[in-house]
Amino acid sequence: MTAASNGTPLDTAAVRAQFPILAREVHGHPLVYLDNAATTQKPQSVIDTLTSYYSTMNANIHRGLHTLAEEATVAYEDVRMQVAEFIGASNHREVVFTRNTTESLNLLAYTLGARLRPGDEIVLTAAEHHSNLVPWQLVTQRTGAVLRFIELNDDQQIDVDTARAAINANTRIVSIVHMSNVLGSIAPVAEISEMARSVGATMIVDAAQSAPHIPINVAELGVDYLAFSAHKMLGPTGVGVLWGRQDLLADLDPFLGGGEMISVVTREESSWAALPHKFEAGTPNIADVVAFGAALDFLNEVGMDTIAAHDAELTHYAVERLSRLEGLDIYGPSDAADRSAVIAFNYRDIHSHDVATILDRGGIAVRAGHHCAQPLMRTLGVPATARASFYLYNERSEVDALVDGLLEAGERFGFER
């Protein structure tokens, strides 16, 4: 289908042909989908897997003794092994399925947070999505622990020096975003993990934006926990992943109680199922997990190195073209090499909502607003930004369409081309 992961360029036309939604028009224009940091589109194979699961093997998993239950259980558990392999985990028992990244992070905040005492410090960054901020704020209210923040450096990046300023002997948890959904910058996770370990803190990474775009290896990153979502990497909505080191997960109390997560239940008390089922209470999202397996197949077949190279090349092209527009401000690292796939910007004095509405009339989908990162918006000193974000099916002509759309928006607001 496409190039293997040996560094040869991506055959974008062949990739695009497998995404039915990319053939549709919006307001009479071909869809230009540049909102991939919010969610990605789905290839036909994922859509087909979803329908074929319901058409041929739908059953509840793990407890059934009949054939369908057995087939569904195998299909579900196979994807757990695929995920483990995809992120370089040593064992599939380290992979817990949740609803989304937000739930994965809430699971950690709830269980790890219960161990904190007044004065303990939780270190986050200035660039967190609300999903890696609000759960920890709740922890501080319950425990008296305090939040500290790794600030951005002068180039709007999280670096080792800004991290060092925030991590100290009181740090119990370090939970940071790997790739910012606004700045596109990638944090030096391995180095920060080392710092966390040296003070005995638990290291958590929000990989919601990075897992779709760059190869992830949890062993190389040296982290304790990692969270991401299927829907931002070609999979269905409603599936999140929490990876954790087996010894650490085994030591955590359950998050939600109910069926599936128990071993023996009496009227008074229960014992817990083995990993990872201890953290999967109730009937999970079986069909969407199975379809996520098709998404991982797709990514593996194209190759994460190839995808990373494609996204970086396209981002570089977009930064270059956008920077040439008069009155266009791009947020994030000055060097395009320091970012991946996400470009937040403001154009002229046109509010990003107006930019998004005008682009939409030309079939171009971008995000506008605070991107669930209100504290970061305050740090950047802007109420809102527009954001274009790319994935493996995007191509240069779509960046050109974005630039043309912005020029049209400028004209409407009284600026000459």
- Residues serving a catalytic function are 372
Least distance to other proteins from the beta carbon of 182, Å?
A: 14
Least distance to other proteins from the beta carbon of 365, Å?
A: 12
Least distance to other proteins from the beta carbon of 217, Å?
A: 37
* 354 interacts with other proteins by CB under 8 A: yes
43 vs 363 by CB, closer to other proteins: 363
278 vs 371 by CB, closer to other proteins: 371
b (16+ CB within 10 A) / e for 77-107: bebbebbbebbebeebbbbbbbbbbbbbbbb
CB atoms within 10 A of CB 141: 10
Q: Contacts with other proteins: how many residues (CB under 8 A)?
A: 20
Residue span 360-389 as binding mask against other proteins, x where in contact by CB under 8 A, dash where not: -x------xxx---x--x-----xx-----
Least distance to other proteins from the beta carbon of 36, Å?
A: 20
* 27 interacts with other proteins by CB under 8 A: yes
Strands 202-206 and 171-177: parallel
Least distance to other proteins from the beta carbon of 353, Å?
A: 4
* 351 interacts with other proteins by CB under 8 A: yes
* 412 interacts with other proteins by CB under 8 A: yes
* 404 interacts with other proteins by CB under 8 A: no
In the block, residue with structure tokens 């090349």? 313
Do residues 185 and 154 make contact, with C-beta atoms less than 8 angstroms apart? Answer: no
Strand order in the sheet with 146-150: 95-98, 240-244, 225-229, 202-206, 171-177, 121-125, 146-150
99 vs 361 by CB, closer to other proteins: 361
Q: Of 56, 91, 217, 357, which lies in the binding site for other proteins, with binding defined by CB under 8 A?
A: 357
Q: Which stretch binds other proteins (CB under 8 A): 47-55, 153-161, 210-218, 407-415?
A: 407-415
* 318 interacts with other proteins by CB under 8 A: no
Residues within the interface to other proteins (CB under 8 A)? 25, 27, 350-354, 357-358, 361, 368-370, 374, 377, 383-384, 412-414
